[in-house]
Amino acid sequence: MNLAANANIALYSSMIVYTLAMLAFTWHLAARVPTIEGVRVEDREAVLVGSGSRDGEPAAPETPSTPYAAGLVGEQTLKSRQRGNIALMLTYLATALLVSSVLMRGLAVSRPPWGNMFEFATAAAAAVGVAYSVLAKRNHWEWLGVFIVAPILLVLGLSLTELYTEAGELMPALKSYWLGIHVSVAFIAVAMFTIGFAIGALYLVRRHREEKPPAKPNFIESLPTSAALERTSYTVNMVGFILWTFTLIAGAIWAKEAWGAYWQWDPKEVWTFVIWTVYAAYMHSRATAGVDARKSMYIALAGFVAVIINFTLVNLVSTFVGMHNYSGM
């Protein structure tokens, strides 16, 4: 049995299923669009009371500025719930296919399957899929699906067309058990940053529309409140930041073993450090009294841009030549 070929078949299959999942998530979002006429006044009041108090006391006397500005999250119609479930099921299936593809590739080469850019991109996409699948059901993240599945598809497509490398043996510098530790934690961190970025971007849109209510509601108005989105994005980014700290330290330990010095300001090290400081600044700004959460979020988004640069430009552009030349390109 040719495992590497089967790994590719599983990869293509997962892309097909992810495409279906993306369509289903879009379909789900369409069903979420709040229709003002459809929401009866009594319902809205019930929602407000339910969210604001614990003991049946009247809720805080704050009236929403528009009919749909507050608390429509609980009002999922049967239709949108069904579509959301279909989309989630498809995502689970696609993620399972993708994970099996990564595993088969690993078995085919008898090593951790993230030794070049193609493998890293695939494994990172799988990590995003797994992280989203695990968190989506519990947190009712159906609204996030399309913003997660679309980037996964983009990454898989680009890695197949631009980065594809035949399954093969590693170069000597990568033959170390640290490959399993340092790189896997790195892409799990990247997966968290990706989810944190998607939620963070939605937060900015949601908040903008809360402050300047648009004439017509769309699915954004069915999302959790901007404050809730901001908190969620922070929590996910925080997990990513802790993992990234570990990546940085594990990388330094490995560098000491492979190159004799734990820190040499090699371009990859520089960008790992830049990402770390930007996300550290984000954590810091969020703990600073008087800094607008929106400004903090801009820092986090900048951090994700650095993550992208670190994986693309730093690996592929010759300006950044350093010791981390493992793209396999």
Residues contributing to the site for another protein (CB under 8 A): 54-55, 57, 165-166, 168-173, 175-176, 178, 231, 234-235, 238, 241-242, 245-246, 249, 252-253, 256-267, 270-271, 273-274, 277-278, 280-281, 283-285, 287-291, 299, 306, 314, 319-322, 328-329
**Upper half-sphere CA count for residue 55 (Cβ side, 13 Å):** 0
Tokens of 321: 């030549």
Q: Give whichever of 132 and 320 is closer to another protein, judged by the CB atom.
A: 320
Q: Are 184 and 114 in contact (CB under 8 A)?
A: yes
Alpha-carbon separation of residue 186 from 102, 283, 307, 316 (angstroms): 16, 19, 10, 18
The rounded distance, in Å, linking the Cα atoms of 186 and 201 is 22
**What is the smallest separation between the CB atom of 149 and another protein, expressed in angstroms?**
26
Alpha-carbon separation of residue 311 from 231, 304, 320 (angstroms): 27, 11, 11
**What is the smallest separation between the CB atom of 156 and another protein, expressed in angstroms?**
19
Alpha-carbon separation of residue 277 from 102, 224, 233, 252, 282 (angstroms): 31, 29, 18, 16, 9
**How far is Cα of residue 170 from the mean position of the Cα atoms in its chain?**
28
**What is the smallest separation between the CB atom of 269 and another protein, expressed in angstroms?**
9
Q: Give whichever of 82 and 165 is closer to another protein, judged by the CB atom.
A: 165
Q: Are 313 and 274 in contact (CB under 8 A)?
A: no
**How far is Cα of residue 162 from the mean position of the Cα atoms in its chain?**
22
Residue whose entry in the numeric block shows the structure tokens 């229709």: 35
Tokens of 183: 């790189």
- Going by C-alpha positions, the residue among 169, 156, 170 that lies closest to residue 122 is 156
Q: Give whichever of 152 and 210 is closer to another protein, judged by the CB atom.
A: 210
**What is the smallest separation between the CB atom of 263 and another protein, expressed in angstroms?**
7
**What is the smallest separation between the CB atom of 140 and another protein, expressed in angstroms?**
14
**What is the smallest separation between the CB atom of 137 and another protein, expressed in angstroms?**
17
Residue whose entry in the numeric block shows the structure tokens 């399957």: 113
Q: Give whichever of 23 and 270 is closer to another protein, judged by the CB atom.
A: 270
Q: Give whichever of 106 and 328 is closer to another protein, judged by the CB atom.
A: 328
**What is the smallest separation between the CB atom of 284 and another protein, expressed in angstroms?**
5
Phi, then psi, of 37 in degrees rounded to 5: -65, -35
Q: Give whichever of 33 and 173 is closer to another protein, judged by the CB atom.
A: 173
Q: Give whichever of 218 and 264 is closer to another protein, judged by the CB atom.
A: 264
**What is the smallest separation between the CB atom of 37 and another protein, expressed in angstroms?**
34
Tokens of 247: 């990546």
Q: Give whichever of 152 and 300 is closer to another protein, judged by the CB atom.
A: 300
